[in-house]
Structure 1
Amino acid sequence: MSVQMILAPVFVLVLLAVVLAVWMGRSRFAALRAGQIKVGPGSPRNADWPEPARKVSDCFHNQLELPLYFYVVAILALVTRQADLAFVVLSWLFVALRYLHAFEHTGRNRLKARFGLFASGALVLLALWLYLALKIYTLA
């Protein structure tokens, strides 16, 4: 499997985080300009942001949680040369689920649907880790 094929889902997932970071910044600055929020001491994460800004912010921060384990497994698969077509397909499935989760999170934000997408992504991520571990330890 080529490096480009292995890393493509990683770059696409990073793109999601970048888009959400820019969107978060724009929505927060818009809320500040509109006077919807008062700047005070402490972290801006603790401010009482309007719902649209809060949804995007929460979604952005969520991209810094579960995807971290995807980045690690992708790097390990690349370094150990254990990534194959199945690994890449599972990677794309994980990324697709993260995008669907982000669309739900920043859109209608139905908790049941969002949790289903999150849980599905978590299971695919677990499958990636188990697949890599099996490949490494059965080939050792």
Structure 2
Amino acid sequence: MSLTMVLLPVFVEVGLTFALLFWTKGRAKTAEAAEEFGLPTLFYALIALALPLRHADLAIVLLSWVFVVTRFVNAGLLRGADGRQRSLAWTASALVLLAMWLYFALKMLLLL
């Protein structure tokens, strides 16, 4: 079985997870817990795949740092982050992570 065939269902599941995270965002109090656990898990999975496959390039590293900084803001660990800023930080972190997954998926599926 080719690597592409093995990774394709992973990419589809990641897409579904992002769709559900964005869809449930702000719909209920319970969605907040799902959002917090979903993003770090997707981040760890991406890095766990990219490293052994030797696709953790400069773009992945830079986007990883942007993701981590937005997570600090979202967690309220940076001074002056109010509720609105934290919500925007969550959205920013989710979009950065989505960009990372799209970049990784395109590299893997198109063998770049």
Give the gaps of 5 or more residues in structure 1.
1-58
Percent of aligned positions with the same letter in both sequences? 42
Measure how far apart 1:60 and its partner are: 9.3
Instruction: Quote the residue 2:72 is aligned against.
Output: 99
Runs of 4+, deviation exceeding 4 Å? 59-63, 106-109
Distance in 2 between the 1:111 and 1:139 partners? Answer: 41
Contact 2:46 2:101 in 1 (8 A): yes
Contact 2:76 2:82 in 1 (8 A): no
Distance in 2 between the 1:108 and 1:96 partners? Answer: 14
1:122 to 91, 94, 111: 94
Report the TM-score when normalising by structure 1: 0.50
Measure how far apart 1:109 and its partner are: 6.3
Letter in 2 for 1:133: A
1:113 to 67, 74, 85: 85
- Larger radius of gyration, structure 1 or 2? 1
Instruction: Quote the residue 2:25 is aligned against.
Output: none
2:45 to 51, 59, 72: 72
Give per-residue Cα distances to partners, 1:25-76, cap 9 Å, x unaligned: xxxxxxxxxxxxxxxxxxxxxxxxxxxxxxxxxx999653311100001111
Give per-residue Cα distances to partners, 1:68-103, cap 9 Å, x unaligned: 100001111112111100110001110111011112
Letter in 2 for 1:128: M
Give the gaps of 5 or more residues in structure 2.
1-31
1:90 to 34, 46, 63: 63
Measure how far apart 1:111 and its partner are: 2.5
Report the TM-score when normalising by structure 2: 0.61
Aligned length: 81
Instruction: Quote the residue 2:109 is aligned against.
Output: 137
Instruction: Quote the residue 2:3 is aligned against.
Output: none
